[in-house]
């Protein structure tokens, strides 16, 4: 399963990119707003920090405005930029047009199988179903991912599924078990994936053994 980092913070992206197992970035207007720079400044800087897909979300309404902004955002770095579009009729129309223009897309704010179906029908490059926000209202987010993956396989859609709104490592593992293509993960959750109490205990035991051996070698 491919892992992206879900942040617009430069320090987090730089550190995550250094680990080796993080292959891309997703942003959204809320994440951009945290960084006190313009979207263009932030996206431009991010393209220098990681060599992978970088999702930049349109911030306007209406097909014509979305298409215009999408082309502007894509021009920042055609090698890395993916245009994130809302799950609306205008967003889906723009998705279809960008596919024809060979500009990659990521349809976001997906919360149902029917939304997933029409995004995949409109050749979305990526589709982002949100897990955490569904769990927050008592719905079964993993069941949605399982059904989306079933529909994708039934019709052999090319769309890659980016599991989003991830809240913990358990979300990631359960999504991986469904065969979902990608998970986009908050920095702290990503970093926490390496941790386990038994690993800490084992490392402490090995350190003590190494110290003991080193003392013997000095005699
Ligand atoms: C990623 O593309 C999404 O915008 C993000 O994962 C949403 O996460 P949230 O539901 O915690 O805001």
Write the CA distances from 88 to 59, 85, 180, integer angstroms. Answer: 13, 8, 23
* CA-proximal residue: ligand 1, atom 8 (nearest): 165
- Please write the tens of the pLDDT for every residue from 87-98: 999 999 999 999
CA gap 76, 41 in Å, rounded: 10
CA–centroid distance for 14 within its chain = 16
Confidence of residue 152 (pLDDT cuts 50, 70, 90): very high
- Please write the tens of the pLDDT for every residue from 184-203: 999 999 999 999 999 999 99
Is 189 within 8 Å of 168 (Cβ atoms)? yes
pLDDT attached to residue 218: 85
The residues that are catalytic are 84
User: What's the gap in Å between 135 CA and the centre of ligand 1?
Assistant: 13
User: What's the gap in Å between 20 CA and the centre of ligand 1?
Assistant: 22
Sign of CA dihedral 157, 159, 160, 162: negative
* CA-proximal residue: ligand 1, atom 9 (nearest): 165
Average pLDDT, the chain: 98
CA gap 30, 139 in Å, rounded: 23
pLDDT attached to residue 219: 79
DSSP 130: B
* CA-proximal residue: ligand 1, atom 4 (nearest): 28
Spatial CB neighbours of 64, under 8 Å, sequence gap ≥ 6 = none
Confidence of residue 142 (pLDDT cuts 50, 70, 90): very high
Q: Is the pLDDT of residue 144 over 90?
A: yes
pLDDT attached to residue 62: 98
Pairing of strands 22-26, 126-129: unpaired
Ligand 1 neighbours, Cβ below 6 Å, are: 6, 26, 28, 108, 128, 130, 132-133, 164-165, 184
Determine the average pLDDT of the residues in 27-31.
Answer: 98
Residue 191, burial from CB neighbour count under 10 angstroms (0-12, 13-18, 19+): middle
DSSP states of 49-110: T-SS-EEEE----SHHHHHHHHHHHHHH-TTTEEEEEESSHHHHHHHHHHHHTT--EEEEEE
- Please write the tens of the pLDDT for every residue from 50-78: 999 999 999 999 999 999 999 999 999 99
User: What's the gap in Å between 132 CA and the centre of ligand 1?
Assistant: 8
* CA-proximal residue: ligand 1, atom 11 (nearest): 165
**pTM for the model:** 0.96
Confidence of residue 217 (pLDDT cuts 50, 70, 90): confident
- Please write the tens of the pLDDT for every residue from 153-181: 999 999 999 999 999 999 999 999 999 99
User: What's the gap in Å between 186 CA and the centre of ligand 1?
Assistant: 9
């Amino acid at each position: 399963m491919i892992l992206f980092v879900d942040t617009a913070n430069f320090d987090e992206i730089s550190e995550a990119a250094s680990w080796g197992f993080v292959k891309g970035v997703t942003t959204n207007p809320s994440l951009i707003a945290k960084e006190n720079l313009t979207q263009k400044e932030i996206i431009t800087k991010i393209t220098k920090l990681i060599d992978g897909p970088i999702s930049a979300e349109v911030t306007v309404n209406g097909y014509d405005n979305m298409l215009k902004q999408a082309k502007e955002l894509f021009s920042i770095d055609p090698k890395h930029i993916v245009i994130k579009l809302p799950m609306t009729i205008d967003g889906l129309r723009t998705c279809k047009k960008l596919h024809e223009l060979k500009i990659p897309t990521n349809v976001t704010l997906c919360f149902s199988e029917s939304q997933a179906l029409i995004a995949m029908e409109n050749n979305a490059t990526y589709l982002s179903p949100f897990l955490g926000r569904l769990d927050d209202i008592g719905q079964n987010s993993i069941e949605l991912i399982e059904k989306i993956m079933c529909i994708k396989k039934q019709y052999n859609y090319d769309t890659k599924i980016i599991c989003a709104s991830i809240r913990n490592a358990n979300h990631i593992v359960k999504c991986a078990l469904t065969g979902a293509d990608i998970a986009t993960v908050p920095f702290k959750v990503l970093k926490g994936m390496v941790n386990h109490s038994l690993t800490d205990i084992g490392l402490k035991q090995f350190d003590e053994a190494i110290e003991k051996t080193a003392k013997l070698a000095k005699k």
